[in-house]
Structure 1
Amino acid sequence: MADKEKPGNAFVETVKTIVYALLIAGIFRTLFFQPFWIPSGSMKETLLIGDFLFVNKMAYGYSYASCPSLMLPNIGIEVDAEDVCGFFDGDNTRLIGGEPERGDVVVFRHPVSGRDYIKRLIGLPGDTVQVKQGVIHINGDPVKLEQDGTFEEEMTAQGPQRLRPRCENGPLGEGGTCIKSRKIETLPNGVSYPVLNIGNQQSDNTGLYTVPAGHYFFMGDNRDNSADSRLAQQVGGVGFVPYENLIGRADRIMFSSAGRSMLFFWTWRGDRFFKAVE
């Protein structure tokens, strides 16, 4: 008759299994794909609050920003990528570096706060970028814009943060139809995507930006509801983003939920499962 496994040995084996699983998950997340939940509406309608995607880290190579952060301030856990891999920081280079393309939807580290942001790449190093009456001008030339109807959504709290949308058709009561003007924007390299408008505001007319070497200029597709490169880092924007701060490219939505929790299956958006990010 075989000897029974001792309780102490079983516990040690369980701990080892958990440690190995965490190590494998950490390596996978660091080198290949990082999960990312969309927390806000700055990239509507390309990305909606509650979309879940994996960020392709292989697209641009690796830097200190490739190390995962673990931010759980409610329980006192705040492990930043710079705490783990900060020794790679400082030279604005990458290992096995790949160049991002204009129009890519990119996750990057905010140059000051270190928080992860997701925006669309508009300006490359050396470009001049200016917004005039809501139209982007790149190197002096306006990008192509075509009217494309409206984007509509329900006026209700969205996602775990219970954010409510801003609407072009004014303040609405609960359950009303929130409307934004929709246009198709086409960049000089032919990349096209929808952009939304809420109204005329200061960010629709900017100064002339010249993107420094080794940096990039980003904007959200929901133009009037995005803190992006149009605002300096010190006033709530992201300014110019260094090459080394890029984390990866958003390629595909894996899952989407319109509710407070992914467990609320009745709020799942089945039509967005495995949808390509364009």
Structure 2
Amino acid sequence: MIGKVKRYLELQTAWHRRLLVERREGKQRRLVGLPLFPPPEEVLAAPYVFVLSTGRSGTAFLTAFLANSQKLSVHHAPKPELEYVSSLIHRNVPEPEALDLALLAARFDLFVDSYRSGTTYVETNNRITFFAPAAARLLPNARFIHLVRHPAEFVRSGVRRGYYADGVVQHQRLQPACHAEWESYSAVEKIGWEWNEINGFIESFKMSVPGDRVLTMRSEALFRGPSALTSVMEFIGVGGDADLLARMAKGALKPVNQQISGTFPTYEYWSDADRSGLARVATLAVAYGYDL
């Protein structure tokens, strides 16, 4: 498998064609410090961090914070964003080799850019979640942060954003391959099922890799003081980063990309039917310490 991947990378010519130059006063100057075409093995051996989540879980906030570091190359919505293909992978699990090649085709150029800049590549895009097994296989020094949000808050955000709304085509939403009750589910139940399905996938993935490659954190902790952010910094190898420490010293960090449009009550005002519906499908809630 590794030999095939190496061959694939050697055949990729897109990044070879790029002129790695800067324009200064009308003159071209080669970038210095690293080979023009870094060996694929070295690129794959670099450090990487992938944030795995359902989305709507504080990833934009984490992106904004980590972007303060000059040691990190942080991407929240890199192109392609993998919206459709992530749901496709969920419906039709590909062979490992196919998933590996898909990840390389989508991200190798960015990996090279990060390698050449001497920074750690960090991706907070939730669509990368279903590519985690490929990342673990191809990138031996990759680490993973599992960010979890209260299922009721995820559902509330999803309803306000129109997740699973009738008459709306949403190719990025997950659906069970065969589920007799699915069509009778309310929006709350469908969104709650998606929360459980994605986190269930992440839990299965975490069992396949050494524990020191994964950090699991409730997203609510990010907004309750510096301890959670300090844990993230230490986990990804920038514990003493002066820029990040300076940002924390400035004071309270506020949520980013909060849902403003749409209306749906907070959990305390839900109907009994919605509460019981969520509890029925979000069975992993108790594992993360959430009461439903």
TM-score normalised by structure 2 residue count: 0.27
